[in-house]
Structure 1
Amino acid sequence: MKPEINLITIWTDEIEKMRNFYSQVLGFRIINDLGNYVEFENSGVRFAICLRNVMVGYSNEYSKKAAGQSFELAFPCENPNDVDKSFKQLIEMGATLIHEPQDMPWNQRTALFADPDGNIHEIFAEII
């Protein structure tokens, strides 16, 4: 095994809502849509969403509901002002507001939002 991530899959019970969110709100282009599995164009790591029930036959662990914040996706912005502008647009388009843009001690301007399943993600830019 190589210590490298090739694919990130978000498991969901709400594939339609999640497909629409990641394609229409966040702007990912769909490159493969099998109905129960959707893969998006992304440079670097492959990115997909998939219905949990696809994998239940392999392990009952997939039937368990996720609890808590297990992961976060972080989306870069061009500059600190872009964080504010992008955050406003995301909220207007249906993302759930978690935390308004704020300058962080690690020299980034960061804002938090959630997808339809409640997964919290961030947008950020380096403060120069």
Structure 2
Amino acid sequence: MRRIDYVIWYVESLAASVPFYRDVLGLQVRIEGDGYVEFALENSKFALFERAKLPELIGDRAGRAPCGEIGFLVDDVDAEADRLRAAGVTVLSGPVDRPWRERTLHIADPDGNVVEFAQKLPRTS
């Protein structure tokens, strides 16, 4: 395996989740239809899929959220935190400098999945 091709969040409501990722986080919609919405990113695919449609896709063995975390690299975590707070988003943690040389911020999407924003910090001598 060389890289992750895509991440799909199973969500209760596209009507609630799409505006969060599109309008609050600022992702552009690339494809949508039949319970699926994919956002335009350069390095991989990120999409939402309506949980109610899962039995058609994989049968009755679907997981329940919150299931995981997705992380986005940004240039300025503090500016992102200010923007998200102004949009009414509750910050779960951060911004905070981490020992692995990243400044991070954590929020939750409408389904409770964790969204992290990380800014690479310079090495200190």
TM-score when normalising by structure 2: 0.85
Q: What's the CA shift for 1:114? A: 1.0
TM-score when normalising by structure 1: 0.84
Equivalent residue, structure 1, for 2:60: 60
Q: Please list every run of at least 4 consecutive aligned residues from structure 1 whose deviation after the TM superposition is greater than 2 angstroms.
A: 2-5
SS at structure 2 position matched to 1:53: helix
Q: Is the 8 A contact 1:108 1:126 kept in 2?
A: yes
Q: 2:120 aligns with which of 103, 116, 126?
A: 126
Q: Cα RMSD (Å) of the superposition?
A: 1.7
What amino acid maps onto 2:69 in structure 1? E
- Whole-angstrom CA distance in 2 between matches of 1:116 and 1:95: 10
Q: What's the CA shift for 1:72? A: 1.5
SS at structure 2 position matched to 1:56: helix
Equivalent residue, structure 1, for 2:38: 39
**Counterparts of 1:1-128 in structure 2 under 5 Å?**
2=1, 4-34=3-33, 36-57=35-56, 58-62=58-62, 64-66=63-65, 68=66, 70-78=67-75, 82-128=76-122
Q: Which runs of 5+ in 2 are unaligned?
A: none
Higher strand fraction (1 or 2): 2
**Residues 89-120 of structure 1: per-residue CA shift (max 9 Å, x gap):** 11221333101211111111111111111111
Aligned residues between the structures: 121
Q: What's the CA shift for 1:35? A: 5.3
